[in-house]
């Protein structure tokens, strides 16, 4: 059930000297500050949207929004799981610094959050649907928020109703965040309008009839996310002025093997579109590397302020306004666990060409809901057909082995191998790149104060009865 509450105006300043917002010179004193509307999809890989080449999955609202603004080809999240990713967005800090490393965890209470920065600049802040990790939204200090539970979609219409009721009652600029539950599992079973044979399976998939049935269900869930976006866009056009920045993105990749819970591109590279009529050139693309921790300082600068020092994020407003073409030279990301479903701590650094992944405990078996859970939240229905295929097909066996068993280090050439299918970490000719990126990650982890936590007991490769077919559970 939706619960509407009023939150306090400002969060705690810790430490004050690092979190003061200053006025930005990008806006004159008489300039009207824009409304900011952020729409977040749930579990949606970048390549599954039409602006980035998806076929067989219809996303007309996303495509239309891209035509009016700037699409980012190299947008990344801080972590490939819901709670850490969203906490990084709302604090501007990476998980090791804000305290939300494991899925379902919260950032430290004393940290100042995004709503407080914008409220100080005169904004009303509101959140509807899955903006943080479900009921965690109450901790973030929004002026208005509505919590909806797991796969409760009332937040979408509640956001539009809020815009309608607010229209003539509040003159403050607005920052509205709306979270769709799609395409998070469970996925729709009705796929009559989707041709499963036309869908392109992600790299590393084993093509079985059941795999295609489930891929069609995912496509249907993506189309539901697109409809949610269209609903919000309709409300924005009806109730807000043209001076409104609309942003669409996703918290991490799809619940598909080698995507969500993984530091591969399919897990941490997400759609990101900014539309701002008259300010951001329509139909443009950017190859600038940006991170979700950059959204908080970018929003602060859009709101007429300067982002505080001491954050991990940096504003990329100059990229949006095309006064700069580049933003970051590298992107860092980390993953810890999702309770005991997935205990696989890993860290990564991504450059324009190279990706380096460090698996902190390669003795662990990599597992997720996909291979462990039979039922509405897992996909053992198709994953079991992968296990059967692996019994007689060496290529399928290699994919299954790679899914469960990872080396301590992985290295990929994203230019030659964008789907990350060939690990170069043991090739002598790439030793220089491996050592360089290993050193770079070491330095970043030290700066972060990364304690390399493994908070719960893992499933071990040496104990196969705890994972795979033997460890599957009903839910």
Task: Identify whether 319 is part of a domain.
Answer: yes
Answer yes or no: is 5 within a domain.
no
Same domain, 360 and 463: yes
- How far apart CA 173 and CA 36 sit, in angstroms, is 8
Cα–Cα distances (Å) from 358 to 77, 93, 251, 297, 401, in that order, read 17, 21, 22, 28, 18
Host H or E run for residue 5? strand 3-6
For 395, the token pair is 């290529």
Q: Is 7 inside a domain boundary?
A: no
Report which of 295, 85, 15 is spatially closest to residue 175, judged by C-alpha positions.
295
If asked whether residues 293 and 399 sit together in one domain, one would say no
Residue 138 tokens, joined: 């109450």
Q: What is the pLDDT of residues 170-199, one digit of tens each?
A: 889 999 999 999 999 999 999 999 999 989
Between CA 246 and CA 265 the distance in angstroms is 25
pTM of the predicted model as reported, rounded to 2 decimal places: 0.93
- Residue whose tokens read 């950032």: 107
- Which is it for the CA torsion 23, 24, 28, 31, positive or negative? negative
Examine the domain organization and report whether 148 and 210 are in the same domain: yes
**Residue 193's domain is classified under what CATH number?**
3.40.720.10
Please check whether residue 46 lies inside any domain of the structure.
yes
User: How many residues are recorded in the chain?
Assistant: 475
Give yes or no: residues 91 and 114 share one domain: yes
Residue 10 domain-assigned (yes or no): no
Pairing of β 70-76 and β 284-291: parallel
What is the span of the domain harbouring residue 352?
A: 333-474
Q: What is the four-CA torsion angle of 127, 129, 133, 134, rounded to 10 degrees?
A: 110
Query: What integer pLDDT is reported at residue 376 of this predicted model?
Result: 87
Residue 360 placed within a domain: yes
Are both 387 and 344 inside the same structural domain?
yes
What per-residue confidence (pLDDT) applies to 134? 83
According to the model, what pLDDT value does residue 24 have? 52
Same domain flag for 324 and 363: no
Q: Are residues 323 and 290 in the same domain?
A: yes
Taking the C-alpha atoms of residue 459 and residue 206, their distance in angstroms, rounded to an integer, is: 24
Residues 190 and 291 in one domain: yes
**Residue 317: which H helix or E strand, with range?**
helix 317-320
Quick one: pLDDT at residue 459? 96
Last residue of a domain, one of 263, 293, 328: 328
Among 205, 162, 184, CA closest to 396 = 205
Q: What is the pLDDT of residue 11?
A: 32
Same-domain status, 374 and 317: no
The answer as to whether 437 is a domain residue is: yes
Cα dihedral 298→320→132→250 (10° resolution): -160
**Domain end point (choices 302, 328, 354):** 328
Number of structural domains (the chain) is 2
Tell me, yes or no, whether 94 lies in a domain: yes
Do 265 and 353 lie in one domain? The reply is: no
Q: Provide the pLDDT for residue 21.
A: 55
Claim to verify: residue 227 and residue 291 sit in the same structural domain: yes
Distance CA 69, CA 302 (A): 15
Residues 194 and 339 in one domain: no
Q: In the listed set 312, 328, 344, which residue is the last one of a domain according to the structure?
A: 328
How far is the C-alpha of 273 from the C-alpha of 284, rounded, in Å?
10
Low-confidence residues in the chain, pLDDT < 70: 1-30
């Amino acid at each position: 059930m939706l619960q509407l509450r009023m939150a306090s105006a400002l969060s705690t300043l810790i430490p004050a000297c690092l979190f003061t917002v200053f006025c930005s010179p990008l806006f004159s004193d008489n300039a009207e500050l824009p409304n900011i509307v952020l729409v977040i999809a749930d579990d949606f890989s970048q390549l599954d949207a039409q602006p980035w080449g998806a076929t067989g999955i219809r996303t007309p609202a996303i495509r239309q929004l891209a035509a009016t603004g700037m699409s980012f080809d190299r947008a990344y999240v801080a972590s490939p799981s819901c709670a850490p990713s969203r906490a990084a967005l709302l604090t501007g800090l990476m998980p090791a610094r804000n305290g939300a490393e494991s899925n379902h965890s919260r950032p430290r209470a004393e940290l100042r959050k995004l709503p407080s920065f914008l409220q100080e600049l005169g904004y009303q802040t509101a959140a509807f649907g899955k903006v943080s990790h479900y009921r965690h939204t109450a901790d973030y200090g929004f002026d208005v928020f509505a919590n909806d539970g797991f796969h409760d979609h009332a937040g979408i219409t509640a956001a539009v109703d809020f815009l309608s009721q607010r229209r003539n009652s509040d003159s403050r600029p607005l920052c509205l965040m709306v979270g769709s539950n799609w395409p998070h599992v469970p996925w729709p079973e009705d796929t009559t309008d989707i041709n499963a044979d036309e869908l392109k399976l992600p790299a590393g998939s084993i093509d079985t009839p059941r795999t295609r049935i489930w891929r069609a269900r995912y496509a249907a869930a993506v189309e539901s996310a697109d409809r949610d976006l269209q609903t919000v866009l309709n409300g924005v056009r009806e109730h807000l002025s043209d001076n409104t920045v609309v942003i669409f993105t996703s918290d991490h990749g799809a619940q598909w093997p080698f995507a969500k819970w993984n530091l591969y591109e399919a897990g941490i590279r997400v759609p990101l579109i900014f539309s701002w009529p008259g300010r951001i050139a329509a139909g443009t693309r950017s190859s600038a590397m940006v991170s979700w921790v950059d959204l908080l300082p970018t929003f602060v600068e859009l709101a007429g302020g300067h982002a505080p020092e001491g954050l991990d994020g940096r504003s990329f407003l100059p990229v949006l306004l095309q006064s700069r073409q580049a933003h970051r030279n590298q992107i860092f990301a980390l993953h810890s666990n999702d309770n005991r479903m997935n205990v696989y701590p890993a860290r990564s650094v991504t450059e324009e060409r190279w990706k380096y992944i460090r698996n902190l405990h390669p003795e662990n078996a990599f597992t997720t809901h996909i291979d462990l859970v039979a039922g509405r939240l897992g996909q053992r229905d198709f994953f079991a057909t992968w296990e059967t295929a692996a019994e007689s097909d060496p290529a399928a066996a290699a994919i299954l082995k790679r899914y469960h068993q990872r080396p301590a280090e992985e290295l990929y050439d994203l230019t030659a191998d964008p789907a990350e299918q060939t690990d170069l970490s043991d090739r002598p000719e790439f030793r220089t790149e491996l050592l360089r990126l290993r050193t770079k990650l070491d330095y970043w982890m030290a700066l972060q104060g990364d304690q390399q936590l493994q908070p719960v007991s893992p499933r071990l490769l040496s104990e196969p009865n705890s994972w795979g077919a033997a460890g599957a559970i009903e839910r």
